[in-house]
Every structure is written in structure tokens, then in C-alpha cells.
């Protein structure tokens, strides 16, 4: 069930639209693996434009390559 909070819903929506393309870029730049939540940080910045403000969100997570068992 989708979240009901408007801000959380936008994150949900962003991942629905951009999740697979972001995954493809990560695989292209790093190889097959994941961005882990180990040692994860997130940063939120305010970007001021002439007539509006924007939100800049940076996620930083450890890259873990897939390993065979």
C-alpha cells in the first residue's frame, strides 16, 4: 500500500519512476552490486533559485559488489 504522507509518497513515487534507471547507472559506474545502508548518510540542502526554492537530497552509501557463494 502506498504511503499517505505527501512527502513520503514523493519518495515512493521517485523510486517507482527512477529506481531502475538509478540501478542501471550504479551498475554501469561500479559494476554489479548494491548501494548498502551500511555507513549510510543522507544530506538535505536548500537550493535558492530566482523565483523558487529547490530541495537537493544526497544519499551516500557503501557500494557492495555481488559475490558468488
Q: Which three cell numbers stand for residue 24?
A: 542501471
Name 45's Cβ contacts closer than 8 Å, sequence gap at least 6. Answer: 55, 56, 57, 58
Catalytic positions, written as ranges: 10, 13, 36
Separation CA 21–CA 38 (nearest Å): 22
Amino acid at each position: 500500500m502506498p504511503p499517505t504522507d505527501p512527502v513520503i509518497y514523493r519518495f515512493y513515487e521517485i523510486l517507482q519512476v527512477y529506481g531502475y534507471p538509478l540501478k542501471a547507472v550504479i551498475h554501469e559506474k561500479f559494476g554489479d552490486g548494491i548501494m548498502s545502508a551500511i555507513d549510510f548518510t543522507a544530506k538535505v540542502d536548500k537550493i535558492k533559485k530566482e523565483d523558487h526554492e529547490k530541495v537537493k537530497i544526497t544519499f551516500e552509501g557503501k557500494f557492495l559488489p555481488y559475490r558468488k557463494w
